Amino acid sequence: MKTFNIAVIAGDGIGKEVVPEGIRVLEAAGRRFGFQFNWRSFDWSCETYAKTGKMMPPDGLKQLQPFDAIFLGAVGHPSVPDHVSLWGLLIPIRRSFRQYVNLRPVRLFEGIETPLKNWKPGQIDFCIVRENNEGEYSNIGGRIYEGTDDEMAVQQSIFTRRGVNRVLRFAFELARKRKKRLTSATKSNGIIHTMPFWDECFHQMATVYPDISTDQYHIDILSAHFVRHPDWFDVVVLSYLFGDILSDLGPAVVGSIGIAPSGNLNPEKEFPSMFEPVHGSAPDIAGKGIANPIGQVWSGAMMLRHLGASEAADSVENAIAEILAQAKVRTPDIGGRSTTGDLGAAIAALVSGKK
Ligand code: NAI
Ligand code: MG
């Protein structure tokens, strides 16, 4: 029987509550479709940081490298500055393992209320492809004259032809498997070196994919279109910062941040990819057992697809759609009173039971 070796980093807060539900559903999928998992947990988190001063051990990346994939909950705690948890764990994993694509599907499900009026399930269904290795989130820069009136801070954006082209290629290929429409957005009127460079790469790449229709916007008007015309989009490709912002707006438009998944992908599979919900550790509801596990479970379905178990991935995604449409088992964020465990168990039961 095929066995997938998965590194599990539940992290902090509700990460610890939703990850077990993700595992429960994936186990059910494995039983049904004839594969199994070897889960190995790593207690890397802000809690660990408080004890050891490190988010992960010095050889942490070496420990993760042999795994088929990484299944992550969320990291972050009010006692640890957010840049410490991000740069101490997530960014090193994304960069070292060349997870240069951050893929975030946005889909309106039946049974989820959207803050936008008059949209029906099926009308909003697109994917955000965020560049995940370079761009605006670089550690090149610094400060001088700290604490004085002359203080100055510089942070350098990095856009390489290789880095931009590889994420564009992924986005074009993804569009080819979907509705064949790709949107790119930058801010090339204001940021006059890196952003026109991205636009140029986009136009050049478009000539290689004549079957894909392309659109290009400035990021400010694109965010307005996300709200006014969410049905226009199929695949949207963005640099790190813009992708980060729009990929919170996308899920907000279709209901709850608690259901949004993401994959940090190394498409070449030279390194493990990492799957995590879009939401964070939600300290405001942590420990109450009411977090919505769907973002984690759906991230698990993306992991199955990446590992080649696409039938199982479909079954998990269908179970999510069905449970939301039935509207019986729901956590408070989507208007119900069920617990994290109730919702995880209900999805797992559907995955075990029928196609
Ligand atoms: P957050 O996503 O943790 O929470 C935002 C709001 O959404 C909160 O009101 C929360 O209760 C609610 N929420 C989030 N997930 C939910 C779920 N599954 N079910 C029900 N409600 C849910 O974002 P916030 O508050 O900005 O960040 C909290 C911590 O998480 C910070 O330390 C931040 O750095 C970290 N964070 C970590 C991420 C990661 O691990 N990739 C991503 C985003 C934030
Ligand atoms: Mg974000």
Which tens digits make up the pLDDT trace of 29-50? 999 999 999 999 999 999 899 9
Three-state SS letters, 7-67 = EEEEECCCHHHHHHHHHHHHHHHHHHHCEEEEEEECCCCHHHHHHHCCCCCCCHHHHHCCC
Give the amino acid at 205.
M
% of the chain residues with pLDDT over 70: 99
Statement: the pTM of the whole predicted model exceeds 0.85: yes
Average pLDDT over residues 23-33: 97
Whole-number pLDDT of residue 113: 84
Ligand 2 ion local residues (Cβ < 5 A): 244
Burial string for 121-140 (b: 16+ CB within 10 Å, else e) reads: beebbbbbbbbbbbbbbeee
pLDDT in tens, 308-343: 999 999 999 999 999 999 989 999 999 999 999 999
CA of 306 to the centre of ligand 2 (A): 22
Whole-number pLDDT of residue 314: 97
| Helices and strands, number each (H, E), in the chain | 12, 12
The token duo for 40 is: 């190995």
Whole-number pLDDT of residue 354: 52
Whole-number pLDDT of residue 315: 97
CA of 322 to the centre of ligand 2 (A): 27
Tell me how far apart the alpha carbons of residues 264 and 93 are, in angstroms, rounded to a whole number.
9
Tell me if 238 CB under 6 Å of ligand 1.
Answer: no
pLDDT in tens, 235-246: 999 999 999 999
Average pLDDT over residues 146-161: 97
pLDDT at 13 over 90: yes
CA of 11 to the centre of ligand 1 (A): 12
In this prediction, residue 67 has a pLDDT band, given cuts at 50, 70 and 90, of very high
Mean pLDDT of the chain: 95
| Cα separations in angstroms, 191 against 187, 194, 204 | 6, 7, 20
Whole-number pLDDT of residue 255: 81
% of the chain residues with pLDDT over 90: 89
pLDDT at 118 over 50: yes
Tell me if 205 CB under 6 Å of ligand 1.
Answer: no
Ligand nearest to the backbone CA of 248: 2
Whole-number pLDDT of residue 117: 85
Whole-number pLDDT of residue 305: 97
CA neighbours closer than 13 Å in the CB half-sphere of residue 207:
5
pLDDT at 215 over 80: yes
pLDDT at 116 over 90: no
Counting ligand 1 atoms within 8 A of each CB, the residue from 85, 102, 257 with the most, and so the one to mutate, is: 257
Whole-number pLDDT of residue 98: 97
pLDDT in tens, 251-302: 888 887 899 999 999 999 999 999 999 999 999 999 999 999 999 999 999 9
pLDDT at 355 over 80: no
